[in-house]
Structure 1
Amino acid sequence: MSRLIKPASRVAGQRKDVWSIVNEAAAASEKPVVNLGQGFFGYNPPDFVVDAAKEAVERVDCNQYAPTQGRLRLRQAVSDAYSPYFGRTLNPADEIVVTTGANEGMLSVFMGFIEPGDEVIVMEPYFDQYISNIEMAGGKVVYVSLHPPAKGDTEVCAASEWTLDQKQLEAAVTEKTKMIVLNTPHNPIGKVFTKEELQGIGELCVKNNIIILSDEVYDRLFYTPFTRIATLSPEIEDLTITVGSAGKNFYCTGWRVGWLIGKPHLIQYAGAAHTRICFSSVSPLQEAVAIGLEKADKEGFWETSKKEMKEKMNRFNEIWHELGLPYTEPDGGYFVLVNLSKVKIPEGYEFPPHVAERPRDFQLCWFLIKELGVAAIPPTEFYTPQHEKEAENYMRFAVCKEDHVLEAAKDRLRGLKKYM
């Protein structure tokens, strides 16, 4: 007789996650679904990056293990690309580590610094992987809210109107606080933290000797002034690890190439954890990303990318003006939060139990897929239960899709008129 195998508590008893719910609903839908849920791109990287990848896989050296810290060419390219923002030359030898996507990079930071009992402050709504990564390292997550605009149910509001209460942040700090996680531009809000907000966060961390993990994976997609917290002062930089992502920069989320930037006294420990987690990251795609960074400015890619994404955002958001539904105007990134409090789900509408027990936005998500054939993400997945009420009327849509897909989604969303 076989024994019951008991899983580790970190993965046991987890309820069905949002990605499974959305994908299962889409797969079971009687009509084709326009997927504006997960933030993967609906088009290829630019030709100069794709061509670099094709050439790299033909090279013997690119098809073997990369150095655990990352291919030197990519570390040099990251240094060249980011040093102008930092106002000094970043040393590719000991201030940059290439990781298997930004997510593994962040896990490496948590594994490199967090021990059981350490506290990590996270702002909600949050990228869901932060939580599991922190808990797997033995840390305790402490939540501080980004508060939605007071008029978010009735008016279009800027992402900057989602606010951080500095006093609440200060109150969350204890003698056990080891790290704060910052995300700017923010997923899912699209908020770009102002220089003044970052200064307040940075000074609090300097005062209490708290590490700042700054998730800046959308750092090439900003529509208002964007400040990197590590550049505010030498003292703040000494505490900051900056996270970057080739997947977000070059439309290649499946490549899983990211990087960490920080002073040697921080990077060495994140790098040590990275070595133990995956040893090294995919070599030929590192080479392609290096070439991409080397050529991006000459190709005018960064400005073109920003302009095209903003145009997609504006194109898609036309539907909300047409329907009279308020939304959050993003400062950066490629997500838009839309408030659907005016949408009335028919009384008695049947939901499967795992949806019925979740907040209203999960039911809206299911309803949109089944009735209109449009998939989006319910943002309460990125909240603790005590604060999910703040987001239960919102839905997150990803606009990083081809224009004809956005137009198809808009056409289907016009079906909301009969439920308002």
Structure 2
Amino acid sequence: MMNQVSASVDAVNLGQGYMSFPPKDFIKQAAQEAFVEDAHNQYAPPRGRQHLLDQIASRFSQKFARSIDSGSEVSIHAGANEALLSIFTAFLEAGQNQEAILIEPAFDQYTPNVIMAGGKPVYVPLRITTAKDPASEVISSNDWKLDMDELEAAISPKTRILVLNTPHNPVGKVFSRSELEAIADISQRHNLLVVSDEVYEHLTYGVKHISIATLPGMWERTITVGSAGKLFGVTGWRVGWAVGPEDLIQPTLAAHTRIVFTTNTPLQEGVASAFKQAASNGFFDSQREEYRQRRDRLMEIFDDVGLPYVVPDGAYYLLVNAAAIKIPDAYKFPTFIEQRGPNFKLVYFFIKEFGVSGIPPTEFYSDEHKPLANDYIRFAFCKTDQGLEDASKRLQKLKQYLQS
């Protein structure tokens, strides 16, 4: 919807989280070499190509400090989203109204995936806990906290799954060890399967990303999901994975086999080759620094125009609080925007009047909790330097709409 509005005014697209710059040459070359190999033109095994399975197993063996079996503890998927759908399909028994807890704001694919799998989403929001006023002051993504009592109160006898996203989209929060330990304690006491969405694992800024599967007692009840699209800047390749104990991966693989059967062969090989090269060429460190610079530049832009934001410790999104923008009382909105509430009006006004597109973060909330996001707009900084500079120039206009 917002892409259509953006196209109507040729807006600078800081909305969707895809990269507006090309991947590094070694990544493209890895795919090109895979495509010309005759052996890579037919079906891959449903579990995945052995080359990529071995690379994933090797990476997670180091990360988790345990030996990961590529033949039983890894499965390759058509992007992280299909991995999530396969997990939900495997572990939410249709017709039983089994529940999955989603921490809001929650990536907007979680809810439909849970429902498609026959489950019921239950929502627990992150809440801002700071003495600062988010409408007028910059706050940290770490100021968004999960109330553990509220989380535990949401658990019922039908609760089967808890979905964790760290680093978090759209807040940019990286859950601390103490927070993860509290979640782990609740999960173990209530016998929950934890689905840990870690697609932004390498994009953290000054903090350490910790996988909940590495905590005591959590390997046995956690499936960790990842994405080559996010790690290598190739969202169109649609290659993701799931890592966990055999008794969790086998049902996930069974669902995957029925949903898509298999993941494309040549790009699995391309990802495997890219992983092998990235292990020695410093790619992930240099990529993190490039993203940190983009993040800092976008924050400078909003400092200049006078809107506060949430400083992200991870991922590549900036939540901007636009409560200070005064929309003229007589401003006309199309019906399809009127119907979606005040946050859509704010984002629509922002795009139409300033020519910079964002995403309405109320889409990451259930109806009950949408008011928590009414003042925010999500912007992605996985964009070119030129795109950010173009946005800076266009945003100068918003100063005339700021309330004192």
SS in 2 for 1:351: coil
* Partner residue in 2 for 1:227: 210
> 1:73: Cα distance to partner?
0.3
Please list every run of 5 or more consecutive structure 2 residues that lacks an aligned counterpart in the other structure. none
* Partner residue in 2 for 1:80: 58
* Partner residue in 1 for 2:3: 23
Structure 1 segments of 4+ aligned residues over 6 angstroms from their partners: none
1:341 equivalenced with 2:323 (yes/no): yes
Q: TM-score normalised to the size of structure 2?
A: 0.97
The answer to whether the 8 A contact 2:306-2:399 is kept is no
1:396 equivalenced with 2:396 (yes/no): no
> 1:371: Cα distance to partner?
1.2
SS in 1 for 2:75: strand
2:123 aligned partner, one-letter code: Y
1:272 equivalenced with 2:250 (yes/no): no
1:95 equivalenced with 2:73 (yes/no): yes
* Partner residue in 2 for 1:10: none
1:283 to 259, 262, 265: 265
Question: Could you tell me the percent identity over the aligned residues?
Answer: 46
> 1:63: Cα distance to partner?
1.1
Greater shift, 291-300 or 259-268, is seen at: 291-300
The answer to whether the 8 A contact 1:97-1:267 is kept is yes
Please, what is the CA RMSD of the aligned residues?
A: 0.9
SS in 2 for 1:345: coil
The answer to whether the 8 A contact 1:338-1:396 is kept is yes
**Deviation per residue, 1:301-332 (Å, 9 max, x gap):** 01001010000000111111112211000010
* Partner residue in 1 for 2:21: 43
Mapping of residues 296-375 of structure 1, within 5 Å: 296-375=278-357
The answer to whether the 8 A contact 1:319-1:414 is kept is no
> 1:297: Cα distance to partner?
2.3
1:159 equivalenced with 2:141 (yes/no): yes
**Partners of 1:192 and 1:171 in 2: how far apart?**
23
**Deviation per residue, 1:46-92 (Å, 9 max, x gap):** 11111010011111111111110000000101111221110012110
**Deviation per residue, 1:29-62 (Å, 9 max, x gap):** 2xx2100000000111111111010011111111
> 1:358: Cα distance to partner?
2.3
SS in 1 for 2:160: strand
* Partner residue in 2 for 1:61: 39
SS in 2 for 1:141: strand
SS in 1 for 2:395: helix
> 1:149: Cα distance to partner?
4.3
1:169 equivalenced with 2:147 (yes/no): no
**Deviation per residue, 1:237-257 (Å, 9 max, x gap):** 100000000000000000000
Q: TM-score normalised to the size of structure 1?
A: 0.93
Change (3 A) 1:149 1:327: farther
* Partner residue in 2 for 1:131: 111
SS in 1 for 2:218: helix
Task: Provide the aligned length of Structure 1 versus Structure 2.
Answer: 397
The answer to whether the 8 A contact 2:105-2:365 is kept is yes
**Partners of 2:361 and 2:341 in 1: how far apart?**
10
**Partners of 2:33 and 2:276 in 1: how far apart?**
15
**Partners of 1:65 and 1:347 in 2: how far apart?**
58
**Partners of 2:211 and 2:150 in 1: how far apart?**
22
Greater shift, 241-250 or 108-117, is seen at: 108-117
* Partner residue in 1 for 2:120: 140
> 1:359: Cα distance to partner?
2.7
2:236 to 240, 251, 254: 254
